[in-house]
Structure 1
Amino acid sequence: MRRRHHFHIDHAGHSVSVTIQTGHTAVVEVLVDGKETGHATSGHGHPVAVHIELPTEPPTPATVRAAPGPGIPRCVLEVPGVEPQVMSPRLY
């Protein structure tokens, strides 16, 4: 059975949102300021890293690490020079 899980964090004035659709194959979609900037798939609940850029001047590289399972999905935002930040779950 497929379920959608949503996560969000604000970083450096930008909104980063993640949707994880679980199931046999997990689908991870990342939006920065409402625009899709990355996606990935993962089989059997394996963690996945999605590389993105924050639209700063110059652009800031970042990585969203998503763990679709087992259990409750989790997301972490990693930006160079900053402690990794756990993304908050959101109910939609």
Structure 2
Amino acid sequence: MRRRHHFHIDHLGHSVSATVQTGRTSVVEVLIDGKETGHVTTSRDRTVAVAVELPTDPPTPVSVRATPGPGVPRCVCEFHGGEQHVMSPRPY
């Protein structure tokens, strides 16, 4: 059975959202300011990292690390310099 889980964080005035769709294969989509900028498919509960950039001047590299399972999915946003922030789940 497939389920969608949504996560969000704001950083440097930009919106970073992630959707994790679980099931036989997991799909992770990352949106920056509402535009899809990263997409990856993985098997089962394997943790994946999606590299994207915030549209700042110069662009800021960001990595969204998603863990589809076991249990409830989790997402962490990793910024340049090793700074990490847990992304808040969104109920929609």
Partner of 2:79: 79
**Deviation of residue 76 (structure 1)?**
0.3
Partner of 2:40: 40
Which whole-Å CA distance do the structure 2 matches of 1:65 and 1:83 have between them? 13
**Deviation of residue 71 (structure 1)?**
0.4
Mean Cα displacement is larger for which, 18-27 or 76-85? Answer: 76-85
Mean Cα displacement is larger for which, 35-44 or 80-89? Answer: 80-89
**Deviation of residue 83 (structure 1)?**
2.2
* Backbone CA RMSD of aligned residues: 0.8
Which whole-Å CA distance do the structure 2 matches of 1:14 and 1:59 have between them? 12
Partner of 1:20: 20
Q: Is 2:4 aligned against 1:4?
A: yes
Which whole-Å CA distance do the structure 1 matches of 2:4 and 2:81 have between them? 31
Q: Which ranges in structure 2 are unaligned for 5 or more consecutive residues? A: none
Mean Cα displacement is larger for which, 45-54 or 80-89? Answer: 80-89
Aligned residues: 92
Q: Which ranges in structure 1 are unaligned for 5 or more consecutive residues? A: none
**TM-score, normalization by structure 1:** 0.97
Which whole-Å CA distance do the structure 2 matches of 1:59 and 1:68 have between them? 28
Once superposed, which parts of structure 1, at least 4 consecutive aligned residues long, lie more than 4 Å away?
none
Which whole-Å CA distance do the structure 1 matches of 2:9 and 2:82 have between them? 14
- The alignment partner of 1:20 has SS state of strand
Percent sequence identity over aligned pairs: 71
Q: Is 2:63 aligned against 1:56?
A: no
